[in-house]
Amino acid sequence: MRLGQLTGGNEDAAVTGFAIDHRKVAPGTIFGAFRGARVNGEDFIADAIRAGAIAVVARPEAVVKGAVHIVDDEPRAAFARAAARFFGPFPDTVVAVTGTNGKTSTVEMVRQLWRMTGHHAASIGTLGVTTADERVTTGLTTPDVVTFLSNVAGLAREGVTHLAFEASSHGLTQYRTEGLTVGAAAFTNLSRDHLDYHGDMAAYLTAKMRLFSEVLSPDGTAVVWADDPESARVVDLARERGNRLITVGTRGSTLRLVGREPSLLGQGLTIEAEGATHRIELPLIGAYQAANALVAAGLVIATGGPVVPTLQALARLQPVRGRLERAAIAKSGAPIYVDYAHTPDALEAAIAALKPHAAGQLIVVFGAGGDRDTGKREPMGQVAAAQADRVIVTDDNPRGEDASVIRRAVLKGAPDAIEIGDRRTAIAAAIRDAGPADIVLIAGKGHEQGQIVGDMVLPFDDVAVARECVG
């Protein structure tokens, strides 16, 4: 592809690739020079040109000598648009999910529902790139735009026709998911998270809303979990833009949840849709799993799936890795669950999901991450203290912070909790003390395969550790 085809100019140089890291530039590369929170890519423009960059996407005031300067006040957006033209084509049907909690489960459920109806489907998010037969971990909910677009194009070449991806607030703010035609977008919920990056809840919500104000196709569909207090913002925005609207939940009009009864291994859902009442046995526990399933069904319906068969397919959904995943059964008979809950709202939802199933005590093991929003630590402790029967506060991913300082902040909200810093020891203690009528919840890390301590990532998998402790 020639440079002029991407810029609209007459440049005849051959484009070989895109990069936002000057160390990855090769001859023929278009370099994106962006100002970041810690690093300013404009400082490396000269290095990128020496390495062979033929064009640089940067702000008007950036100094570019020896290469074409693609000027834009929002260079991330311009870079993403050009990269999309270079990497495409992409799958024909693309949907995106945003919200604080539920993104991972929802995109994976969408993928499963599509697969059940014969589509070659994939999902991209926290779990990585997931298809019917393989998973490749990316390490980020929303990878950088070059990785994202090249992955999506690769899926299309492999025959994937349907794609669901997570749209994180970081990814939306940094234009990491631009360039695709998004036919449907979903909003799950909003609660406190990532305020270390966004500053306040207003900015956090604004970042989420970009999915509906700019990324969603003008003729696309907005799917909204109507029971969240912020859902009205999404509904209003969809109506302003003239998007089709699908609302789900107890306040939903498309898929209305009128009943939910917990069972031993799942829950029965009573749903009103198209003037009829449908009874579905969802093989997943927890109110929030029901919410994720209905949002996923809404996205499938938005992209052409028939209502009744889609609802019936919910009965065949499989659990999502690290999302209320039953890891093991203790020798006492107590089930042990692992969940990714790492915010007060998510922790409360996970506890609420398991509480009806515990004839005895609900034992919760959790911590809080370092170098992240410090204001959520005490509220997480308060949630655990108020909702669980026994609480063990341990380490999560301390990162660059003193782990004991993080634990003390959590313990302010749960002063009667047991403190065990070593996570393996804490998990072992919870399992050892669990009686036959109890349930153990290990929260915070979910699917993660490592524990970040300082600048090291130590191998650690909550599910594997739980099974080792049982064994």
Peptide bond just before 89 cis, omega within 30 deg: yes
Cα–Cα distance measured from residue 286 to residue 267, given in angstroms and rounded to the nearest whole number: 8
Do the annotations mark residue 100 as ligand-binding?
yes
Cα–Cα distance measured from residue 345 to residue 101, given in angstroms and rounded to the nearest whole number: 8
Do the annotations mark residue 168 as ligand-binding?
yes
| Tokens (6 digits) for 262 | 């917990």
Of 340, 324, 330, 390, give the one whose Cα is nearest residue 362. Answer: 390
Do the annotations mark residue 208 as ligand-binding?
no
User: At residue 371, what is the residue type?
Assistant: D
Do the annotations mark residue 396 as ligand-binding?
yes
Do the annotations mark residue 99 as ligand-binding?
yes
**Residue 300 · residue 113 · CB < 8 Å:** yes
Do the annotations mark residue 104 as ligand-binding?
yes
Do the annotations mark residue 312 as ligand-binding?
no
Do the annotations mark residue 461 as ligand-binding?
no
Count of C-beta atoms within a 10 Å radius of residue 114: 29
Do the annotations mark residue 260 as ligand-binding?
no
Do the annotations mark residue 399 as ligand-binding?
yes
Do the annotations mark residue 10 as ligand-binding?
no
* Angstrom distances, CA of residue 129 to CA of 123, 182, 406, 451: 6, 18, 32, 21
Do the annotations mark residue 292 as ligand-binding?
no
Do the annotations mark residue 395 as ligand-binding?
no
What are the DSSP calls for 119-164, one per residue?
Answer: --EEEEETTEEE-SS-EE--SSSS--HHHHHHHHHHHHHTT--EEE
Do the annotations mark residue 444 as ligand-binding?
yes
Do the annotations mark residue 448 as ligand-binding?
yes
Quote the radius of gyration of the chain (alpha carbons, Å).
23
Cα–Cα distance measured from residue 401 to residue 129, given in angstroms and rounded to the nearest whole number: 31
- Known binding residues for meso-2,6-diaminopimelate are 372, 396-399, 444, 448
- Known binding residues for ATP are 99-105
- Known binding residues are 99-105, 141-142, 168, 174, 176, 372, 396-399, 444, 448
